[in-house]
Chains A and B, each alone.
Chain A
Amino acid sequence: MDMANKEHPVLEQLLKYAEFYRDLASSVMS
């Protein structure tokens, strides 16, 4: 398998954005 996908910083970016939405939902609901 081409490993480029597993090494690309976009994975960290996706994680960061997902965390933001989680924090926002938690903040708005509280």
Chain B
Amino acid sequence: MQGTLDSIKDILIKGRINDSYALLRKYHDSMIINVYSNLYLDDNFSIENFVVEKINNWLHGKEQLPEYRIMADYIRKSENLAAINALLYKDNTYKEIRDRCNDHTHYNFYHNLLLNDNELYIKNRFSILNRFSKDLENLFILHLSYLFYTNDKYMMSSDYMDSMDLGLTPEEDPQYFVAPFIQEIFDKVIKKNRMDLTIEIKNHTAMRLE
């Protein structure tokens, strides 16, 4: 995902908004794959099923993952994600973003195609970029919300390991300390834009998110 975002930046600098939307669709796909595979592992992992076959086969190039629609549906119907899904999909935001990405990818309208011409003066180019920025932000919020909701251990700071490495006694409950870069992105992106998600994520985790 880091690479896709980097590619979007390179393409946007060259003035290709239409191509950037096609890559934004790819970014959306990759986060759905990431969330689906984590969720599917959680749902199917057990002592008897130590290696979850479908995911293992995908990792080793023996089997494809289901198509996007099926993975997205699996996530939307997950009982474990019901509360966060209710907030994420309380309106049509993500449907509209997906539709916009599809329109650009498939050239559904002539004006989509024009947005790839960097020689063309388009009077509302700045406002189209503003919308792209908001779409990107909303997708990033979607991924972070799922990540923090399903894998709160990802938030953990290195305090415990650092203390052990230095031979020091760790502070009490260091496993609940949140890494500074996580707290920063949480504050600047989720808390700033979506207080409803902020409250739900904080209520759902023992991690000490502020």
Contacts and interface: CB of A to CB of B under 8 A. Distances in A.
A17 B12 contact: no
Contacts of A27: 154, 156, 158, 179, 181
A14 B9 CA distance: 6
Contacts of A10: 12, 129, 132-133, 136
Nearest to A30: B158
- Main DSSP-derived SS at the B contact region: helix
Interface in A1-30: 1-2, 4-6, 8-11, 13-15, 17-18, 20-25, 27-28, 30
Given A4-B129, A23-B181, 9 more contacts: A2-B121, A2-B125, A6-B13, A8-B12, A11-B12, A14-B136, A18-B6, A20-B185, A21-B1
Interface centre among A1, A8, A15, A17 (most CB of B within 10 A): A17
A22 B133 contact: no
Contacts of A24: 154, 181-182
Interface string B141-165: 0000000000000101010010000
A30 B157 CA distance: 11
Given A18-B5, A30-B158, A5 B136 contact: no
B110 interface: no
A6 B125 CA distance: 11
A2 B154 CA distance: 41
Given A8-B133, A10-B12, A18 B154 contact: no
Given A14-B8, A21-B2, A5 B133 contact: no
B137 interface: yes
A1 B119 contact: yes
A15 to B, nearest CB: 7
B51 interface: no
Contacts of B50: none
Nearest to A21: B2
A5 B9 contact: no
